[in-house]
Structure 1
Amino acid sequence: MQNFPTFSTARLVLSLPAISDLEDIIFHANSTSEIAENTITFPYPYEEKNAHFWLKMAEDGFAKKDAYIFAIREKENLKLIGAIGLHVDFANRKAEIGYWLGKSFWNKGYVSEALQKIVEFGFEELHLNKIYASHFPHNPASGKVLQKNCFEFEGILKQEVLKNGQFLDLHRYAIFQENI
């Protein structure tokens, strides 16, 4: 795959984030502190330097073929409203999927819509066997999204992450190629 893939769903376009998305990234990342509270490495407040770092990470990940980070865009105006990405371990044919969405777009099914397309991409194009995701116990909505999309609960990773000086558990979910 030489060019970064772009996907279209009923309401969304999933494509490579670009420097032209900078303002939207910062705006949505700062739409609530809950995004940072519910992600492992997301800072709050989210500054321009964070957006530049993330854009470079997306570009470098694709160049090395170990990460595929997609902007989630509304189809009607192509404005970035969030992101979803796969961090790939080809040696073990698995990937971790992560996502975030600006607060005004929560509870509208956008993450599920994007998740379905990226899972399909992971299994059909990248030939993965397993895609997994984790969420903090204080963010059960993320677990519901995963369950709705056929991810199975694998277990609790005890004190897996040190965040803000506190060790936090992660709930781990996975979906397998054979289940699709």
Structure 2
Amino acid sequence: MPCPFCMIASGIPASPSPPVLTSKFGSAYPVLSTPTVIAFLDIAPIARGHVLLCPRQHSSKVIGLSPQESAAIGFWLPILSRAVMKAVHGQEGEGGSWNILQANGAEAGQTVPHTHFHIIPRAGASGTEVGKSEMTDAERKNLVLGEGPRAKLEDAEGQELSKLINHEIVKEVTGLEEQGFILSSQDNAPCMKIEGRELKL
């Protein structure tokens, strides 16, 4: 069977506002699509707003990432974290709790052999931040492993969440462009100048 993340990456072009991909295998709800990386909603989310970030090119483990892919992922992880938390919980800055998880190999819990990072917002039943005192040891273990109750993402929620998160990402990127931290690019990918060279993100 072909790699599902490669299929998603090949079906969604680089775009500031990537469209939903619908295929015979199901739908993918992208929130970010550049020539180097793609991010989309998990189809069986652990929590509302659970997003996956991965390189476009296939790499089964993190050690196979190119320097450019590594830099791009490092650049996008905090931006995606802020965008997800703002879109899902309306939280700015340090106000929320979330996991960033990554596994390499089946024994480590990797279920799709294409390098990817999970961004998983965490909130209690009332929408408030989960405090340590409210969690059992088993729940903490599940958080670390990225496990927990999972239900299939419904289309309406996927459509809504992908637009909300993408909107927050666009705001983040616009702010970084205005501050001069990144440059606009012709092919829908922001760039950074590092040691006189442009790095596509």
- TM-score range relative to shorter protein: under 0.3
Higher relative contact order, chain-length normalized (CA < 8 Å, sep 6+): 2
TM-score by length of 1: 0.28
Q: Radius of gyration: which is bigger?
A: 2
TM-score, normalised by the number of residues in structure 2: 0.26
